[in-house]
């Protein structure tokens, strides 16, 4: 058995940096729910990530496009200057992220039971490496088993991202479980790669597919630890 983890909103609360930036700059300009805006920003993030990969959007414009489109839905026309201030606040709080308590327990359990682990995360190399450093992931997972889209050249749900992990770790798809919070990127991608899938749906989002590809769905972190102890 091998386990590969996502990072954003799986290892830590991704919404907290967004919430802090939203409250400082835009909360007084809209009645839109912050959680809903955060969900929309993640959808646009995936769309713009693909456009960036295709060369449609420049990497230096990606964050602005994401925030611009998110707040357009709330009736706010965000300028580049406003987006830059939002991003600065967002990055400030992102540098102070802390790992979910239940995830520390899961990583401790895997290490104790000698379950091989790795990480596969989307995003650019600099940003994701800062996150993995802030989370102290190297306490549990070797640096050469932390795979970042900006370094391997493919992003989830592209099957080639999962194949890159297999090639560099020796993990076989039939023996490997992927744990992530995103149905589209994590569950669909890992399932197509032939991996076992755990959907950590702690945001309690409805499944976008009438027939879920997740072999296991958990809505609480502690539930995930319990399922792991039973080896899913």
Residue 87's CB: how many other CB atoms inside 10 A? 16
pLDDT at 97: 95
The domains found in the chain, sorted by start residue, are: 2-13+98-229 (3.40.50.1000), 15-94 (1.10.150)
Q: To the nearest whole percent, how much of the chain has pLDDT over 90?
A: 86
The mean pLDDT of 110-139, rounded to a whole number, is 94
User: Which of 41-45, 77-81, 169-173 has the lowest average pLDDT?
Assistant: 41-45
| pLDDT digit string, tens, across residues 74-111 | 999 999 999 999 999 999 999 999 999 999 999 999 99
The mean pLDDT of 143-172, rounded to a whole number, is 95
Does 55 score more than 80 pLDDT? Answer: yes
* Burial (CB count within 10 angstroms: exposed 0-12, middle 13-18, buried 19+), residue 122: buried
Does 53 score more than 80 pLDDT? Answer: no
- Counting every residue written for the chain, the total comes to 232
Question: pLDDT tier at 127 (50, 70, 90 boundaries)?
Answer: confident
Cα–Cα distance, 132 to 29 (Å, whole number): 33
pLDDT at 203: 92
pLDDT at 54: 85
Handedness of CA 135, 136, 140, 141 (dihedral sign): positive
Q: What value does the mean pLDDT of the chain take? A: 94
CB-based contacts of 176, cutoff 8 Å, min separation 6: 1, 2, 3, 4, 166, 195, 196
- Tokens 């296991």 found at: 216
Cα–Cα distance, 116 to 64 (Å, whole number): 38
Q: Which two tokens stand for residue 187?
A: 């569950």
Which residues share a beta bridge with 147?
120
pLDDT at 35: 93
The answer to whether the beta carbons of residues 146 and 137 sit under 8 Å apart is yes
CB-based contacts of 75, cutoff 8 Å, min separation 6: 30
């Amino acid at each position: 058995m091998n386990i590969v983890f996502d990072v954003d909103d799986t290892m830590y609360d991704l919404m907290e940096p967004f919430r802090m930036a939203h409250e400082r700059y835009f909360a007084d300009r809209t009645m839109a729910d912050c959680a809903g805006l955060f969900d929309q920003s993640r959808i646009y993030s995936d769309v713009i990530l693909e456009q960036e990969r295709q060369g449609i959007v420049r990497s230096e414009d990606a964050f602005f496009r994401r925030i611009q489109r998110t707040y357009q839905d709330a009736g706010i026309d965000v300028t580049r200057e406003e987006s830059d201030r939002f991003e600065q606040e967002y990055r400030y709080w992102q540098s102070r992220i802390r790992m979910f308590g239940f995830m520390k327990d899961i990583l401790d359990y895997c290490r104790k039971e000698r379950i091989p682990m790795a990480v596969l995360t989307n995003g650019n190399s600099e940003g994701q490496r800062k996150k993995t450093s802030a989370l102290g992931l190297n306490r549990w997972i070797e640096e050469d088993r932390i795979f970042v889209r900006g370094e391997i050249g493919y992003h989830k749900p592209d099957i080639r991202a999962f194949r890159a992990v297999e090639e560099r770790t020796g993990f076989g798809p039939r023996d490997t479980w992927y744990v992530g919070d995103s149905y589209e990127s994590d569950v669909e991608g890992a399932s197509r790669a032939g991996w076992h899938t755990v959907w950590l749906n702690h945001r309690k989002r409805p499944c976008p597919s009438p027939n879920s590809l997740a072999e296991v769905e958990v809505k609480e972190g502690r539930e995930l630890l319990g399922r792991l102890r039973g080896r899913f």
